[in-house]
């Protein structure tokens, strides 16, 4: 199995690269942002709880996110592996993910962190907001808050995987295909 944590700030290109990675490695894509937006669209209790955090660019509580991911892992554990996109976003989530995987006799293979400069992130998100329909991509102050939250609450996840020898950083700026090739160079030997 190949179990990848695709990491990086909002606007780093995780979703874009995930589409290409799924095609090449036949992995199950688990994006907590997509799952949460699905819950909101379905007007579920979980969606209602998550909405107020997402609108402000804050993180949804760990317990909500972890609960949502558990049955998805269980349901897909016989496949080629997973791409975790936008998750884990706190060290607590990373530790819970390790536990969940362990109970299913699997483990994270590698964490790939896409590095993109602040101004490029803001420009990409504002551009995406023009047609993504995502309220959190339209307002510059919400975008700035999402990046701030990333630095404060999410970057410690790097230390978590670095301590396990699983952290790999790559430059997330440039052509989509050349970024993909840099990722593939890391993943191909790990298959
Ligand atoms: P994303 O689609 O990954 O940019 O996520 C959009 C929003 O969903 C974030 O700004 C958070 O409010 C929420 N969210 C997504 N994934 C997580 C997570 N793993 N932990 C906490 N909140 C999350």
Atom of ligand 1 nearest to the CA of 54: 12
Domain 4-184 has CATH 3.40.50.300: yes
| Domain residue spans of the chain | 4-184
Q: Is the CB of 12 under 6 A from ligand 1?
A: no
Using a cut of 0.95, tell me whether the model's pTM lies above it. yes
Which one is predicted more confidently, 71 or 10? Answer: 10
47 CB under 6 A from ligand 1?
no
Residue 137 has pLDDT above 90, yes or no: yes
Mean pLDDT to the nearest integer, 81-109: 97
**CB of residue 59 inside a 6 A radius of ligand 1:** yes
Active site positions, annotated: 14, 89, 128, 134, 146
- Contacts with 172 (C-beta within 8 Å, 6 or more apart), sequence order: 8, 12, 13, 114, 115, 116, 179
**Contact criterion met (CB below 8 Å) for 4 and 83:** yes
pLDDT at residue 71, as a whole number:
86
């Amino acid at each position: 199995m190949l179990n990848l944590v695709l990491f990086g700030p909002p606007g780093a290109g995780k979703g874009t690269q995930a589409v290409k990675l799924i095609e090449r490695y036949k992995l199950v894509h688990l994006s907590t942002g997509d799952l949460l937006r699905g819950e909101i669209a379905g007007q579920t209790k979980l969606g209602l709880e998550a909405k107020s955090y997402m609108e402000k660019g804050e993180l949804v509580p760990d317990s909500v996110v972890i609960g949502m991911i558990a049955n998805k892992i269980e349901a897909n554990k016989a496949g080629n592996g997973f791409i975790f996109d936008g998750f884990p976003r706190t060290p607590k989530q990373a530790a819970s993910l390790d536990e969940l995987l362990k109970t299913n006799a699997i483990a994270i293979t590698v964490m790939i962190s896409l590095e993109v400069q602040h101004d490029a992130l803001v420009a990409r998100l504002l551009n995406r907001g023009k047609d993504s329909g995502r309220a959190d991509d339209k307002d510059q102050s919400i975008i700035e808050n999402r990046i701030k939250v990333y630095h404060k609450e999410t970057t410690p996840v790097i230390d978590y995987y670095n301590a396990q020898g699983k952290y790999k950083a790559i430059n997330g700026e440039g052509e989509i295909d050349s970024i993909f090739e840099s990722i593939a160079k890391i993943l191909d030997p790990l298959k």
